[in-house]
């Protein structure tokens, strides 16, 4: 199998975000409905619920809204995952809430996304949450962004209004690190330019949203150069027929590993070769991300959870002090006196926050180094000191080895997501 064939992965993970009532759930419902990706009983349940609400047509937003209590409030307050497929591709969608107090949910939903859809209400234009969600998409290293200017039907499908909004977004996004941005005028409620091309906007000559999602190429976004295999578990069966078996199980973070490759075990620095690679009980010749595999080595090396198998001439940094961007998720503010646990890949180490370098103003993208009070949904840059070394890469190069979470040891709750750069 060639590297090119590895990159041709049909699965696309994407997230949706925007301000409250911008139509995120309706858009996903329209995608599922028009692409015929919902079951008949689901449609009947939605139609029944819509009639109870006094609506004449099916409320497609109910396909992704969660609990009944959430529907009664008219808001989505969690990350709703949906799965669907077309003949060209499979999709995993994360629908995230629009309220500012749920920014942390967007971080969760976008953490594994290849692409982000940002919805903007054509009547209101760019809002605070537009800035916030776009910045988070950039912070999380999402390389593909689709800006859907929704509710075009409420602006008489105005081409002028569409271009006003796209220009405003271009001015803002010039300071973000997102290489691929597309703009599509849509009406999620009516279905214009979602799955089928709109006859009401003949001035728009681009792809519909679904066409773009089916065609966008994300295979080259994956890091196939830097070989990183964090060890999650050491397998020792202790059975008579396999008493000498010692396998190292985990998920390939990046790079391509082949049987016979010369590798180095970190942090010991011991050199060896890959003897065999297994997926379950099936032996394979090559492994690549995000496969979960078991490797055996040609030499008997002491490896444990948190160690890493890499190439000799391409190794991560071993650091105990690092600077990182964080999104604070805890209900209690950051407390420098607390010794937080860093969970990085398969490693867990104790740490202390030595300094809050600055807080980010989402609307202006300016840094505020005078305000070091970090509360829920704030984004800040910190300096962290760990009790033992971590094997890290820059997040822009490797999203797995370049990210971590902070855990409060008192509550065992995740209080922050971090990105090393």
For residues 284-310, average pLDDT:
94
Q: What are phi and psi of 25, to 5 degrees?
A: -65, -35
Sequence-distant (6+) residues with CB within 8 A of 154 are 122, 123
State the Rg of the chain over Cα. Answer: 24
Burial 243-277 (b: 16+ CB within 10 A, else e): eeeebbbbbbbbbbbebebebbbbeeeeebebebb
Q: Which residue has the higher pLDDT, 363 or 361?
A: 361
Closest CA relative to residue 86, chosen from 175, 183, 12, 25: 12
Residue 106 has pLDDT above 90, yes or no: no
Q: What per-residue confidence (pLDDT) applies to 7?
A: 47
- Is a pLDDT exceeding 90 seen at residue 239? no
The predicted structure's pLDDT at residue 30: 81
Please report which confidence band the pLDDT of residue 309 belongs to, taking 50, 70 and 90 as the band edges: very high
Mean pLDDT of all residues in the chain? 86
Q: State yes or no: cis peptide before 290, omega within 30 of 0.
A: yes
**Up-side HSE of residue 33: CA atoms within 13 Å toward CB?**
24
Can you tell me the distance from the alpha carbon of 48 to that of 340, in angstroms, rounded to the nearest whole number? 48
* ∠ Cα 116 121 125 (to 5°): 100
pLDDT band at 102 (very low <50, low <70, confident <90, very high): low
pTM: 0.82
CA distance 317 to 39: 49
Q: Taking a C-beta distance cutoff of 8 angstroms, is the pair 197, 36 a contact? A: no
Mean pLDDT to the nearest integer, 230-243:
81
Residue 359 has pLDDT above 90, yes or no: yes
Going by their DSSP bridges, the two strands 228-230 and 308-310 should be labelled as antiparallel
Q: What share of the chain is helix, strand, coil (3-state, %, to 5)?
A: 20, 35, 40
Quote the pLDDT of residue 55. 64
Terminal Cα-to-Cα distance of the chain (whole angstroms): 33
Contact between 96 and 106 under an 8 Å Cβ cutoff? The reply is: yes
Q: Which domains does the chain have, with CATH numbers?
A: 3-220 (3.40.50.300), 228-310 (2.40.30.10), 317-420 (2.40.30.10)
Angle subtended by helix axes 128-139 and 159-173, to nearest 10: 50
CA distance 51 to 47: 6
Mean pLDDT of the 94-114 span: 71
So what's the pLDDT on residue 67? 37
CB-side neighbour CA atoms (13 Å) of 16? 33
Q: How confident is the model at residue 105 (pLDDT cuts 50, 70, 90)?
A: confident
CA atoms within 13 A on the CB side of 399: 18
Q: Is the pLDDT of residue 255 over 60?
A: yes
**What pLDDT does 61 receive?**
61
Cβ proximity of 32 and 20 under 8 Å: no
For residue 349, what pLDDT band results from cuts at 50, 70 and 90? very high
- Inform me whether the pLDDT recorded for 158 exceeds 60: yes
Measure the CA–CA gap between 264 and 302, rounded to whole angstroms: 12
How large is the average pLDDT for residues 291-308? 94
The predicted pLDDT at position 100 comes to 57
- Range 315-340 average pLDDT: 93
Predicted confidence (pLDDT) per residue in 2-60, tens digit: 554 454 547 899 988 877 777 777 888 888 877 777 766 666 776 677 667 666 666 66
Q: Give 168-188 pLDDT, tens digit per residue.
A: 999 999 988 899 999 999 998
Per-residue pLDDT for 70 more than 80? no
Report angle CA 136, 139, 143 to the nearest 5 degrees. Answer: 95
CA separation for the pair 68, 368 (Å, rounded):
41
Q: What is the pLDDT of residues 120-133, one digit of tens each?
A: 999 999 988 888 88
Q: What pLDDT is recorded for position 227?
A: 96
CB 343 within 8 A of CB 247: no
Give dist(CA 310, CA 219) in Å, integer: 22
**Which token pair is 270?**
């011991």
Which tokens go with 54? Answer: 């006094």
Please check whether residue 184 is in contact with residue 208, taking contact to mean a CB–CB distance below 8 angstroms: yes
Task: Answer yes or no: is pLDDT of 420 > 60.
Answer: yes
């Amino acid at each position: 199998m060639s590297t090119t064939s590895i990159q041709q992965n049909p699965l696309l993970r994407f997230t949706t975000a925007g301000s409250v009532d911008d139509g995120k759930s309706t858009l996903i419902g329209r995608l599922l409905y028009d692409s015929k990706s919902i079951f008949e009983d689901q449609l009947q349940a939605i139609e029944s619920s819509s009639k109870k609400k006094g609506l004449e047509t099916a409320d497609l937003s109910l396909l992704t809204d969660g609990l009944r209590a959430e529907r009664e409030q008219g808001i989505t307050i969690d990350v709703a995952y949906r799965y669907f497929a077309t003949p060209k591709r499979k999709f995993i969608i994360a629908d995230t809430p629009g309220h500012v107090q749920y920014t942390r949910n967007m971080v969760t939903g976008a953490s594994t996304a290849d692409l982000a859809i940002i919805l903007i209400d054509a009547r209101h234009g760019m809002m605070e949450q537009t800035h916030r969600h776009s910045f988070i998409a950039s912070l999380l290293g999402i390389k593909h962004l689709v800006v859907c200017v929704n509710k075009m039907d409420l602006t008489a499908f105005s081409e002028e209004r569409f271009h006003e909004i796209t220009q405003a977004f271009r001015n803002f996004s010039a300071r973000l690190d997102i290489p691929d941005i597309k703009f599509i005028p849509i009406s999620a409620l009516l279905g214009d330019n979602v799955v089928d091309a709109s006859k009401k906007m003949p001035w728009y000559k681009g792809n519909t949203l679904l066409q773009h999602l089916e065609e966008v190429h994300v295979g080259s976004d994956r890091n196939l150069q830097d070989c990183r295999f964090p060890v999650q578990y050491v397998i020792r069966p202790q059975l008579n027929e396999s008493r000498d078996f010692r396998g190292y199980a985990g998920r390939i973070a990046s790079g391509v590993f082949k049987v016979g490759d010369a590798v180095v075990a970190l942090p010991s620095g011991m050199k060896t070769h890959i003897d065999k690679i297994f997926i379950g009980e099936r032996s394979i010749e090559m492994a690549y991300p995000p496969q979960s595999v078991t490797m055996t080595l040609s030499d008997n090396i002491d490896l444990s959870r948190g160690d890493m198998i890499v190439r000799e001439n391409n190794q991560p940094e071993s650091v105990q002090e690092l600077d990182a961007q964080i999104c604070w998720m805890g209900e209690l503010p950051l407390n420098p006196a607390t010794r937080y646990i860093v969970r990085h890949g398969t490693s867990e180490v104790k740490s202390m926050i030595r300094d809050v370098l600055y807080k980010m103003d989402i609307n202006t993208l300016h840094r505020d180094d005078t305000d070091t009070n970090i509360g829920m949904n704030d984004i800040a840059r910190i300096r962290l000191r760990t009790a033992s070394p971590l094997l890290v890469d820059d997040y822009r190069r490797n999203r797995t080895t370049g990210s971590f979470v902070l855990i409060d040891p008192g509550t065992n709750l995740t209080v922050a997501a971090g990105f090393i750069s």
